A and B are shown apart, each in its own frame.
Chain A
Amino acid sequence: MSEALIKALIKQGINPPEACTLSFQKQFKGSTGIEWFAQGADYEAIFYKDDLEYIALFNKNGHLMEYRRIVPQGFLPHAIRQLIAEKGEIMNRVLLNRGNEILYEVIYRDKGNERYMMLLSDLGHVMEHKKL
C-alpha cells in the first residue's frame, strides 16, 4: 500500500498516441509535470505552464479540442468580477478555451457559506449557474 501510494503520488497517467504528444509540444511548449489520461475516446493532459495548472483535451488525431487553465487572482474580466462581487467571494477561477469561445468557470461562496459554480462568457453573460 505505501509503495503503491508513493508511486501514484509521483507519477500518474498513460502514454497517449504520438499525434497527441506532437500536437501538445507545438501548442504548450515549455510545459512541465505533464500527465496524460484517457477520457472516453479522447486524451487529456494535465500539466503546468508558467506555474499555472492546465488541462488540455485532444482527440486521438492530436486535435486540441479545448483547454482549461487556472486564472490567477485579479485576472478575471472586469464584468465577471463585478457580477460575482455582488454575490459572494470567489474561491476558484478557471478559463475554458474551446477554440471559438472563451468561458470562465468561477466557484464562489455566499454569506451563508454555500458554494456555487457559474459559467460565464468574458462579457459576463451567465451560461450556467448551479449550487455545488
Chain B
Amino acid sequence: MNDPGEEKLDDNSLIGLIKKGETGSRYFEIIYSRYHTKVKNKCYSIVKNRQESLDLAEEIMVKIYEKLDSYKGNSKFSTWVYSLTYNHCIDYLRLKKNLHYPKWNSDQEMAVLPDYVEEFSEVIDYDKLMLVLEELHTEEQLLIRMKYVDEMSLKTIGEALRITESAAKMRLKRARTRLLYLYTLRFIRG
C-alpha cells in the first residue's frame, strides 16, 4: 500500500524517486494509476477498438517504465507519455493496417482554400468538424490532435510520427487545409 503522502507527489518527483532505484516499482504504481486510463482512452481514440486499445495501453505502460531514463524533464511528463502513446499506436497501425500516408495523400483530391476562409470561423460547428476529422487519414488526424488537443511542439510531433520537423509542419498545414476543405464541401457549399 502506498503512503497517502506519496500519492500527492507530482510526476517529476515520482520519476526522480523511481530513477533512484530500490522502491521504483512502488512509485511506478502511482504513475500507472495516474496514466493508464488516459493512455488507454487515447489509444482508443486512435485505433477505435476496445481490446486493441487495452493491449496497446499495457504495452505503452511497460515502454514508459523501460524508457524512464530517457525522460529528461524538458517537457511535461504527460506530454512525454502521450508522445510515446502516439508513437506506439502509429507504429502499430502502420504495421497492422498497412497505413500508407504518401499513397493516400496522392489519391486525394483537394483544392487549396482561398484566403477568405477565415470568415468561415463564425459558421463552423464543432461537432460537424469532428465528424469531418474522421474522414482524414489517421496520420493527419493524429497531427491535428497532437498539435491542438495535446498542444505538443512540432519537434515532439515529428519525433512521435518519425518524420522531420519540416515534414511535420507541412503535413499539419495540409491536414488543416484538407479538414476545412472537406468541411466546406460537406456543410457550406453542399
Q: Write the residues of chain A forming the contact surface with B, with a CB cutoff of 8 angstroms.
A: 2-3, 5-11, 32-35, 46, 48, 51, 53, 55, 68, 70, 73, 90-92, 94, 105, 107, 113, 115, 117, 132
Inter-chain contact A10/B163, CB cutoff 8 Å: no
Interface residues as binary, B154-181 with A (CB distance below 8 Å gives 1, 0 otherwise): 0000010011101101100110110110
With both chains docked as a complex, state the minimum distance between the C-beta of B129 and any C-beta of chain A, in angstroms: 7
Distance, CA A7 to CA B170, complexed state (A): 19
Interface stretch, picked from B2-10, B31-39, B118-126, is B118-126
The main secondary structure of chain A at its interface with chain B is: strand
Q: Which 5 pairs across A and B sit closest by C-beta, in order of nearness?
A: A2-B126, A53-B170, A132-B162, A115-B162, A48-B112
A6-B129, A32-B114, A92-B163 given; A46·B124 CB < 8 A: no
Inter-chain contact A33/B129, CB cutoff 8 Å: no
Whether a CB of chain A sits under 8 angstroms from the CB of B106 is yes
Interface size on B (CB < 8 Å)?
A: 34
Q: Which residues of B contact A11 (CB under 8 A)?
A: 118, 121
The main secondary structure of chain B at its interface with chain A is: helix
Of A8, A10, A46, A115, which one neighbours B173 at CB under 8 angstroms?
A46
Whether a CB of chain A sits under 8 angstroms from the CB of B101 is yes
Q: Which residues of A contact B164 (CB under 8 A)?
A: 92, 94, 105, 107, 117, 132
A10-B180, A73-B106 given; A94·B167 CB < 8 A: yes
Inter-chain contact B126/A5, CB cutoff 8 Å: yes
With both chains docked as a complex, state the minimum distance between the C-beta of B84 and any C-beta of chain A, in angstroms: 15
Q: Which residues of B contact A46 (CB under 8 A)?
A: 169-170, 173
Whether a CB of chain A sits under 8 angstroms from the CB of B94 is yes
Distance, CA A91 to CA B158, complexed state (A): 14
Interface residues as binary, B133-172 with A (CB distance below 8 Å gives 1, 0 otherwise): 0000000000010001100000000010011101101100
Distance, CA A64 to CA B177, complexed state (A): 25
Whether a CB of chain A sits under 8 angstroms from the CB of B62 is no
Q: Which residues of B contact A94 (CB under 8 A)?
A: 164, 166-167, 170
Residue among B101, B112, B118, B121 with max Cβ neighbours from chain A (10 Å): B112
Inter-chain contact A33/B115, CB cutoff 8 Å: yes
Taking A9-B176, A33-B112, A46-B169 as given, write out 11 further A-B residue pairs in contact, using a Cβ cutoff of 8 Å, ordered by the A residue number: A5-B126, A6-B126, A9-B144, A10-B117, A10-B118, A32-B113, A53-B170, A53-B173, A68-B170, A91-B163, A132-B163
